[in-house]
Amino acid sequence: MEANKKPLLGLSLYELKEVAKSLGMPAFTGGQMAKWLYTQHVREIDDMTNISKANREKLKEEYYIGCMPPADCQKSVDGTIKYLFPTDNGKFVETVYIPDNDRATLCVSSQVGCKMNCLFCQTGKQGFEGSLTAKDILNQIYSLPERERLTNIVFMGQGEPMDNLDNVLKATEILTADYAYAWSPKRITVSSVGVKNKLKRFIEESECHVAISLHSPIHEQRAMLMPAEKGMAIEEIVELLRNYDFSHQRRLSFEYIVFGGVNDSTSHAREIIRLLNGLDCRINLIRFHQIPGVELHGADEKKMESLRDYLTKHGIFTTIRASRGQDIYAACGLLSTAKKEATDRL
């Protein structure tokens, strides 16, 4: 980060026009900046060659691009790559690139650590160390070496997106805006454990896909696994979702980590069917990856398939999500920069 200067990355077209006007430039210069940023991905203000040298010098006095390359990366045997990106406040976040034939998905983070403290999640064990700015969220895409190959983005990395809603909405606005990345919102999925008032606002202000972390249909058990259940119960989440139309292009999914002997029974399946009855949605069953100090274990493959088949037979389209990047701790629930943060404090 350049001392006393402000980043251009993460600014909307309106804000870029305001920057131009504040420096005595015509408003259309803001549009030129937007193209250089979000179409050309320039690294330096001097690369904005259709802006006059005098105006570039004015810009450089107060602003810089703001992109930061990954500080580290690890590659899995299955081709998954985990990147470590620096943030403006001196922290780090993990971002996972997942290639799969003609698809390439990026799992981005929205916070350093997380407040939700889900029992089964390594990020929650890290604690909460701050929310990312829109710039820090977008930098995970802007500075990704494989950026041009991306087909999908999922906000399923570190942090609870609804707990950083303003910056998540701003980032997704830039990703979908015609002046910037011009992605269809149907290429972006945002996950949530369910945060009262924030989830409703996200559904109404965004057209991106929605994924809800379910993990148990039973209130007491979900509260044990996910303390957020006490603030917004899964029954309340589902009732909210019933007010919106997910029968067309916008997709609603429920994420369900399957724990052996905990939430994998037929009675759990029946409760899921009761809970989601009439809701246009799908379920993604996820394998649990062991984390230290947690007495939970993954269900075996036979149990996973049995649960999938039972739910599908009863009208809920259900898949078993392929586990990727487990050998580099990039799989679901394993992301954490706690070790890096602790090392940096020494």
Measure Cα distances from 31 to 68, 181, 244, 297 in Å: 23, 13, 35, 52
Nearest to 325 by CA among 334, 316, 337, 315: 334
What 8-state DSSP symbol labels residue 277? T
The C-alpha R_g of the chain, in whole angstroms, comes to 21
Active-site position among 146, 148, 332, 341 = 332
Task: Give the DSSP per-residue string, 74-109.
Answer: EE-TTS-EEEEEE-TTS-EEEEEEEEETTEEEEE--
Q: Rounded to an integer, what distance in angstroms lies between the CA atom of residue 181 and that of residue 88? A: 22
332 is catalytic: yes
Q: Rounded to an integer, what distance in angstroms lies between the CA atom of residue 253 and that of residue 213? A: 9
* 3-class DSSP assignment, residue 227: helix
Q: Rounded to an integer, what distance in angstroms lies between the CA atom of residue 156 and that of residue 28? A: 36
Tokens of 235: 């029954």
Q: Rounded to an integer, what distance in angstroms lies between the CA atom of residue 250 and that of residue 208? A: 7
Active-site position among 67, 94, 121, 255 = 94
Q: Rounded to an integer, what distance in angstroms lies between the CA atom of residue 282 and that of residue 321? A: 12
Task: Show Cβ contacts of residue 169 under 8 Å, excluding neighbours closer than 6 positions.
Answer: 202, 205, 206
Q: Rounded to an integer, what distance in angstroms lies between the CA atom of residue 193 and that of residue 111? A: 14
255 is catalytic: no
Measure Cα distances from 346 to 85, 87, 93 in Å: 20, 19, 19
Q: At CA 290, angle to CA 289 and CA 293, rounded to 5?
A: 150
Is the four-CA dihedral 250, 140, 112, 65 of positive or negative sign? negative
Catalytic residue IDs: 94, 332
